[in-house]
Amino acid sequence: MNLNQAVDILREYSEAAHAYEHAMGVLSLDGDTAAPSASYKGRGQTMAYLSGVSYQLLVNDRIRDCLETLLASGDRVSPAVRRQAELLKEDYDRLTRIPLAEYTAYQALLTDAGAVWHEAKQKSDYPMFAPYLARLIDTERRFAAYRDDTMPAYDVLLDTYEKGASTATLDPFFATLRRELTPVILAVKDCPAPRTDFLHGDFPIQQQRVFSDRLMAMMGIDRARCGIAETEHPFTTNFNKWDVRITTHYQQDDVASSMYSVIHEGGHALYELGTGDDIQFTALATGATMGLHESQSRFYENLIGRSLPFCRAVLPVMAELFPRQMAGVTPEALYAAVNKAEPSLIRTEAAELTYATHVMIRYEMEKLMMAGDVKVDELPALWNQMYKEYLGVDVPDDRRGILQDSHWSGGSFGYFPSYALGSAYGVQMLAAMEKDVEVWPAVERSDLTPITAWLGDRLHRYGRLLTPERLLRNTMGADFDPLCYTAYLRKKFSALYRL
Amino acid sequence: MNLNQAVDILREYSEAAHAYEHAMGVLSLDGDTAAPSASYKGRGQTMAYLSGVSYQLLVNDRIRDCLETLLASGDRVSPAVRRQAELLKEDYDRLTRIPLAEYTAYQALLTDAGAVWHEAKQKSDYPMFAPYLARLIDTERRFAAYRDDTMPAYDVLLDTYEKGASTATLDPFFATLRRELTPVILAVKDCPAPRTDFLHGDFPIQQQRVFSDRLMAMMGIDRARCGIAETEHPFTTNFNKWDVRITTHYQQDDVASSMYSVIHEGGHALYELGTGDDIQFTALATGATMGLHESQSRFYENLIGRSLPFCRAVLPVMAELFPRQMAGVTPEALYAAVNKAEPSLIRTEAAELTYATHVMIRYEMEKLMMAGDVKVDELPALWNQMYKEYLGVDVPDDRRGILQDSHWSGGSFGYFPSYALGSAYGVQMLAAMEKDVEVWPAVERSDLTPITAWLGDRLHRYGRLLTPERLLRNTMGADFDPLCYTAYLRKKFSALYRL
DSSP B161-194: HSTT--HHHHHHHHHHHHHHHHHHHHHHHTSPPP
Per-residue exposure over B346-356, b if at least 16 CB sit within 10 Å of its own CB, e if not: ebeebbbbbbb
Last residue of a domain, one of A78, A96, A114: A96
Confidence bin at A108 (pLDDT 50/70/90): confident
Strands (E), B49-106: none
Last residue of a domain, one of B96, B115, B138: B96
Taking the CA atoms of residue A349, residue A351, residue A356 and residue A358 in that order, the dihedral angle to the nearest 10 degrees is -50
A26 Cα distance to chain centroid: 18
Q: Which amino acid is at B476?
A: M
Residues A273 and A365 in one domain: yes
How wide is the angle at C-alpha A482 spanned by C-alphas A477 and A487, nearest 5°?
95
Per-residue pLDDT at A103 exceeds 90: no
Residues B159 and B208 in one domain: yes
Q: Count structural domains, chain B.
A: 2
Check which CATH number belongs to the domain holding A483 and give it: 1.10.1370.30
| Active-site pick, B162, B265, B301, B342 | B265
Task: List chain A residues with CB under 8 Å of B39.
Answer: 225, 227, 239, 242-243
Write down the pLDDT at residue B101: 85
Q: What is the tens place of the pLDDT at every residue in A231-259?
A: 988 999 999 999 999 999 999 999 999 99
- Chain A residue closest in CA terms to B230: A34
Residues A177 and A79 in one domain: no
Residues A65 and A202 in one domain: no
Would you say residue B10 lies in a domain?
Answer: yes
Residues B54 and B147 in one domain: no
Residues B170 and B91 in one domain: no
Write down the pLDDT at residue B40: 87
CA gap B461, B276 in Å, rounded: 4
Write down the pLDDT at residue A128: 98
Would you say residue A162 lies in a domain?
Answer: no
Residues B183 and B137 in one domain: yes
Would you say residue A159 lies in a domain?
Answer: no
Write down the pLDDT at residue B115: 84
CA gap B499, B496 in Å, rounded: 8
- To the nearest whole angstrom, how far is the Cα of B430 from the nearest Cα of chain A? 30
Are A225 and B46 inside 8 Å of each other by CB?
no
Nearest-10 crossing angle of helices A167-189, A352-371: 140
Whole domain around residue B203: which residue ranges?
Answer: 128-499
Residues B364 and B271 in one domain: yes
How many helices (H) and strands (E) are present in chain A, helices listed first?
20, 3
Kindly state whether B217 is in contact with chain A, defined as any CB-CB distance less than 8 angstroms.
no
Output the pTM of the full model: 0.91
Give mean pLDDT in consecutive 10-residue pieces for chain B, a chain of 499 residues: 96 97 95 92 90 93 97 96 97 90 86 89 97 97 94 95 93 97 94 96 96 98 98 93 97 97 98 97 96 97 98 98 97 98 93 97 97 95 96 96 95 96 98 98 97 98 97 96 98 96
Residues B55 and B180 in one domain: no
Which helix (H) or strand (E) segment holds residue B122: the answer is helix B100-123
CA gap A243, A224 in Å, rounded: 8
Q: What is the tens place of the pLDDT at every residue in A287-343?
A: 999 999 999 999 999 999 999 999 999 999 999 999 999 999 999 999 999 999 999
What is residue A461's DSSP assignment?
Answer: G
Q: Which amino acid is at B317?
A: V
CA gap B455, B390 in Å, rounded: 34
Write down the pLDDT at residue A186: 83
Would you say residue A137 lies in a domain?
Answer: no
Mean pLDDT for chain A overall:
95
Last residue of a domain, one of A96, A128, A148: A96
Are B19 and A240 inside 8 Å of each other by CB?
no
Q: What is the tens place of the pLDDT at every residue in A24-81?
A: 999 999 999 999 999 988 998 999 899 999 999 999 999 999 999 999 999 999 999 9
Would you say residue A405 lies in a domain?
Answer: yes
Indicate the residue of A29, A39, A225 with minimum beta-carbon distance to B36.
A225
Would you say residue B494 lies in a domain?
Answer: yes
- Over its C-alpha atoms, chain A yields an Rg (Å, rounded) of 23
Residues A171 and A78 in one domain: no
What 3-state DSSP class applies to A248?
strand
Would you say residue B121 lies in a domain?
Answer: no
Residues A174 and A90 in one domain: no
Would you say residue B400 lies in a domain?
Answer: yes
Known active-site residue B232: no
Write down the pLDDT at residue B302: 98
CA gap B306, B428 in Å, rounded: 17
CA gap B179, B360 in Å, rounded: 12
CA gap B46, B60 in Å, rounded: 22
Please tell me whether the interface predicted TM-score (ipTM) of this complex is above 0.95: no
Kindly state whether A27 is in contact with chain B, defined as any CB-CB distance less than 8 angstroms.
yes
Q: What is the tens place of the pLDDT at every residue in A132-187?
A: 999 999 999 999 999 999 999 999 999 988 988 999 999 999 999 989 998 898 88
Percent of chain A exceeding pLDDT 90 equals 91
Asked whether the beta carbons of A7 and A70 are under 8 A apart, the reply is: yes
Residues A198 and A340 in one domain: yes
Write down the pLDDT at residue B315: 98
